[in-house]
Amino acid sequence: GVGSHSTEKSSHRPLVNIWLPTAFLTGKGADVHHVYQVYIRIANEEWNVYRRYSDFLKLHQLLCKQDSAVSAFKFPPKKKVGKKVWLL
């Protein structure tokens, strides 16, 4: 029936996919910084969101305050690779 077809379809592809396909430099002068592309797909909807390292750090800190279990996951530090700073 329709229910079994939906189950088969969802078992072949995860409902939620999130990854960071790229990072790039933006800004001018003293405000040059990396921006990370976050690709999100939920079922058939897709979004691209662009955030700085500091945005991820603020989110992590907020989540730690709301749920102590999040504190068990250490937030990755900024790391320099040559003259570039990456979230690794």
Tell me what pLDDT residue 76 has: 87
Dist. CA 52–CA 35, nearest whole Å: 5
CATH class of 16-87: alpha beta
Distance, CA of 88 to CA of 28 (rounded, Å) = 24
Q: With 0.75 as the threshold, say if the pTM is over it.
A: no
Do 63 and 70 form a contact (C-beta atoms < 8 A)?
Answer: yes
**Chain-centroid distance, C-alpha 28:** 24
pLDDT in tens, 2-53: 444 444 554 566 689 999 898 889 999 988 888 999 999 998 899 999 999 9
